[in-house]
Structure formats: structure tokens, C-alpha cells
Amino acid sequence: MPAHATPPALASHRRQAPAPAAAPIPGRRHIAPLDGLRGLAVLGVLFFHAGRFSGGFLGVDLFFVLSGFLITGLLLEEAARDGRVDLVAFWGRRARRLLPALAVTVAGTLLLVWGFGSVTLLRFGLDDTPWVLGNLANWHFIADQVGYWDSADTRVFSHLWSIAVEEQFYLAWPLVVWLVARGRRRDGAAGGGGRVAVVAATGAVVSLALMIAFTGPVDTTRVYEGTDTRAFSLLLGALMATGPATRLLARAGARVTSWAALVLAVGIAAYWILADGQNSPSLFRGGLFLHALAAALLIGCLAQAPDGPVGRGVGTAPLRWFGSISYSLYLWHWPLYVLLSEERLGSAGWDRTALVIGVSVAAAALSKYLVEDPVRFRARWAHGRSGALALVAVLAALVALWAVIPVPRAGVGSVDVTRLTADG
């Protein structure tokens, strides 16, 4: 009999046995391969926006799934430990994690566009800033009919639609978990984990139905950027963090989950290679959902078997490092892509791609080590009442900066200088 098998005499006691040790709530431990997945996701987006990888936009979808998985794991861990979720503390941690880098990016971008950008970029940048600060950029772009696939090069903040979707999720989803995951079982697991799984699965199916129902024949920006129609990616990640999902994968064993991770990784990679955005209408009629489901399963498998072939592959030090700066890298890369345009640099080749990515990586690293990490880990003033006051002060400073930058007026002076040639 294998060492891990249950003796027949103990079979009747299976229901009283505690949950398997191999299926911890994801928030309780660091899973190194997931940092590498985050690095792959941001690299995909970078090369997509550089025009070098048509399927790289799916990196945003992978970000969503990872966020849903990790955040739900943390929330369920707290519910299991304390029997409740401290919403104020959770939102405070999210604010310390996300807002410092976002504030620096918004302020830096406005100043750069004011000093070096075109009138068009500045006018749109000032128009979009309040919505970015209010975490409503995605709905602003939808309402203004700013097509994601063909008009983004006129808006330095167009990429922040996805940050808005995540921020809205971070506000709403903890409330849901707070409502349905109260109480503790005797084995210490979250008593509402099963209910959270049901809510996440139901919400994901409803979100898919909305995407299919709202997909139009001309422009898919509404379903691509809408919080309701993209929620399934976050919710499928959340589902994979719940007790039912982790126990199911734990019963499969490390060997099975390692092989499953390999199959899923190959399938996802093939999908990234074949996908072509707006020209792949099947994406919005189930394709994105299936991709998110595959990503969620992959993440769940890596959480159970991080030392398998895929875990070792995506858990390499370079990918983990890119994962560690992925948030700031995502924030900075698009404004720099727009400002360092082909016209400004006089090049559309790989030399421009390498330059812009290099500058973006440098900006992201500076943001992480000089802003994000100090505020997140070492600044005592960023907690409690002083942290709330600091948040208000930063927002006030951003509003003041936005207010003092003059709005350019359309007319003779509004020529887009980035479009002029040397002969002009």
C-alpha cells in the first residue's frame, strides 16, 4: 500500500478528517511562479503595444485572473483566521500598494506631456485625469466612445482602463466576501468558502452572458473595457482560490497538476500567438472566458505544484523580477510609448522598441524602489489616521497640478508638433 493511501479501517472517518495540508488557502504562502506569470503578462502587454506581438493584450486578462486569485486568497485567509474580514484594513493595504505609484505616474505624465507632448495629447490628458483619479477611466472611455483598438495613441492614460476595473473590483469584492464568508469551522477553514465559490462562479457566468449580449458588430470597446463584462476574469481567479477548488486540485496530486499545468501553459501560449484583438471576434463570444478559465486553472495548478516543469520555467529569477515591477511597468510604459513616438524618434524599428522598453523598465524600477516599497513597507506615517491624511494630501496635490496646467485651446496654436517632419 502506498504511504499516502488511507487504510480501510479509517475510511469511515474520512469526513471528520481535516482539509488536506496540500490545499492551503493561497494567501497563506508566497507562490514564486505566480510572480513569473505576472512578469510574462506585463511583457506580453509591452510587446503588444509596441506592435510586436498581436496576442500580447491577453496579458491584461492574465493580470485580472491573478488579482482575483491572490486577493480572494488573502480575504479567505483572514476570514478563516479571525472569522471576519477587516474591510478598512484591507482597503488601506490596497491603497498603500497601488496609489503611490499611480500618483507619481499621473503627475509625471502630466508634466512630461505639458513640457514635451502635443496639444492634442495635453488636452486629452487633462480631460482624462479626473476619471483616472476617480478610478472610473474605463467608463469614461466607453462613454466618450474612445475605441480601444484604434484611438489609444491620442490618450496617454488610455491603458488605465484596466487599473480602474481592478480598483472597482477591490472595492466591491471584499464586501461580498465579508457578507458570505463569516464564521469559522472547527478545522479553521473559512466557513463561507463554499458560498464564495458559488457567488464567484455565478458572477463569472453572468459576466460572460453580458459580454455576449453587449458585443457589437463594429467596436468591442464596450465589452472589452466594461467592468461588468470583464469581471469573469477576476471572478474565475477568485473561484480558484476558494476551498472547493483548492481541495479538488489537492486530491489530484502534484504529479497530475504538474502535467495539467504543462498542457494549460502550452494551450495558453498557442492562444496568445493566434489571437488578433479586434480581428478575433470569437474572443468576445467566449474566447476571453475560456482563456481566463485556462489561466485560472493554470494558477491553481501552480499553487499546488510550484516545483513542476512549468513552475520552474516561469519561476526563473528574471521573470520574477519583471513580475516585481510589473505594476509600475504597466503604469509607465504607455505614456512613454506615446511620448517617444515613431515621429519623434524617427524610427519604427526594433531600436525604438528596445529604447522605449528600456526607459519604461528604468522608470518602473525607480518607482518601485524609491516610491512603492518605502511607502508600502517602511513608512509608518502611511498607516491609520496619518495615512488617510496623506492620501487626501496627495489627491489634493494632484488636483492642484491638474488645475494649474493650462488647457490648450483649439485653433492655430493646436498643431500637433509630433506629426511634423523635418522638411515641414
The predicted-structure confidence for 160-192, as pLDDT tens digits, reads as follows 999 999 999 999 999 999 998 875 554 444 456
Give CA separation, 77 vs 28, 81, 90, 189, 307, in Å.
7, 6, 12, 8, 23
Distance CA 170, CA 46 (A): 24
The predicted structure's pLDDT at residue 13: 38
Distance CA 132, CA 138 (A): 9
| Residue 54 clears pLDDT 60, i.e. is over it | yes
The band of 418, judged by pLDDT with boundaries at 50, 70 and 90, is very low
Q: Which residues contact 213 (CB under 8 A, 6 or more apart)?
A: none
Distance CA 292, CA 298 (A): 10
- Out of 28-37, 45-54, 78-87, give the one with best mean pLDDT: 45-54
- What's the mean pLDDT when you consider all of the chain? 87
Say which residue the cell 513608512 belongs to.
Answer: 379
Mean pLDDT in residue range 263-271? 97
Distance CA 354, CA 349 (A): 9
The band of 367, judged by pLDDT with boundaries at 50, 70 and 90, is very high
Distance CA 292, CA 286 (A): 10
Look at residue 365 and give its three-state secondary structure: helix
Distance CA 176, CA 192 (A): 11
Write the single-letter amino acid at 211.
Answer: M
Give CA separation, 142 vs 138, 172, 306, 324, in Å.
6, 20, 39, 31
Instruction: Report the predicted TM-score, pTM, of the whole model to 2 decimal places.
Output: 0.88
- Report, in this order, helix, strand and coil percent for the chain, each rounded to 5: 75, 0, 25
Q: For the chain, state the CA radius of gyration.
A: 23
Residue in 359, 346, 246, 232 with CA at minimum distance from that of residue 283: 232
- What is the domain partition of the chain in residue ranges? 29-407
Distance CA 164, CA 138 (A): 6
Residue in 59, 56, 40, 50 with CA at minimum distance from that of residue 350: 50
Distance CA 247, CA 26 (A): 12
Residue in 67, 84, 100 with CA at minimum distance from that of residue 170: 67
**197 within 8 A of 235, measured Cβ to Cβ:** no
| Residue 357 clears pLDDT 50, i.e. is over it | yes
Distance CA 386, CA 376 (A): 14
